[in-house]
Amino acid sequence: MCYDSSRGKEGEADTGDGVLNELFEKNRAWSEERRREDPHYFERLSNLQRPQYLWIGCSDSRVPANTITGLEPGEVFVHRNVANLVHPNDLNLLSVLEYAIDVLDVSHVVVCGHYGCGGIRAALDGERHGIIDHWLQPIRDVAEQNKDELDRLPDLTSRLRLVCEMSTRNQVARLERTPIVQWAWKRGRRVRIHGWVYGLSDGLISDLKCSVPALNSTG
C-alpha cells in the first residue's frame, strides 16, 4: 500500500509549484478530447489490446514509440531502456518479449535506436558513470570489435552514428538467439525481428536492413 500525505484534493498533486498539477490538467484535457472525438474510445481500449508490434526502444524522452510511428494506444507494445539494449539476463525485457510473442501474438519485434543517444556517447567517452557502465558494456564491445572501421571516420559525430547502427544490429542478433524467439520459431510462429534507427534532427525512421525472418527464411 502506498500512502502519500503530500497529495492534495482528488485529482491533484500538492507539489508547491504546480508542475505536477499541470500533468493532471493535461490528462483531463486529453481524456475529454478523446471522448468528444469518440465516445466509446476508452470502453474499447479497456476491453482489449491487440498490437502487431513489440517495440524495444531507448528511454530517451524524445523518442516515444507511439508518437513517432503515429500509432494509437493499444497498437504497439513497448519496452524501453537506456540505449535500447538486449541483455540475455534482463528478466524485465525477457518477460516483455515472452508476453508479446506468446500472449499478444505480435508479428514483428522492432529494435529502434536513435542518433544522438546519450547512452551511446556515455559508453564511448572513457568516463566512469556508475552502475550504468555495466549496462552499456555491449556498446563498448561492439565499438572495440569494429575499431579499425570507426577510426577511419573523420569525426566523433560520424563514429557515434555508426556505433548506434552497429549496436542496434547487435541487439537484433541478441534477440534472435534468445530461447523465447528460438522456441517461437520452432513452433512455427512467424515472428520477424527488425533493426531501425530514428533521427532526432528530421523525425524519420530508417530501416537498417537487418531484419530476421522467422525460421531464417525469406518467406
Domain that holds residue 14: 1-48
Domain shared by 59 and 10, yes or no: no
Helix or strand holding residue 155 (H, E):
none
- pLDDT greater at residue 197 or residue 216: 197
Distances 29 to 35, 39, 45, 66 between C-alpha atoms, Å: 10, 14, 18, 19
Domain shared by 56 and 147, yes or no: yes
Domain shared by 105 and 37, yes or no: no
Domain shared by 28 and 103, yes or no: no
Model pLDDT for residues 52-75, shown as the tens digit of each residue: 999 999 999 999 999 999 999 999
Q: Given phi > 0 = left and psi -120 to 50 = alpha, else beta, which region is 72?
A: beta
CA dihedral over 205, 61, 81, 85, signed as positive or negative:
positive
Domain shared by 154 and 195, yes or no: yes
Domain shared by 130 and 208, yes or no: yes
Domain shared by 119 and 44, yes or no: no
pTM of the model: 0.87
Summary mean pLDDT of the chain = 92
CATH assignment at residue 197: 3.40.1050.10
Domain shared by 75 and 25, yes or no: no
Domain shared by 100 and 207, yes or no: yes
Model pLDDT for residues 87-107, shown as the tens digit of each residue: 999 999 999 999 999 999 999
Domain shared by 187 and 209, yes or no: yes
Domain shared by 152 and 136, yes or no: yes
The C-alpha angle 56, 84, 130, rounded to 5 degrees, equals: 145
The number of residues making up the chain comes to 219
- Domain count for the chain: 2
Catalytic residues: 58, 60, 62, 114, 117
Sheet holding 192-198: strands in order across? 76-81, 53-58, 108-114, 192-198, 205-207
Question: Rounded distance, CA 98 to CA 79, Å?
Answer: 12
Domain shared by 73 and 111, yes or no: yes
Q: pLDDT value at position 10?
A: 56
Amino acid at 110: V
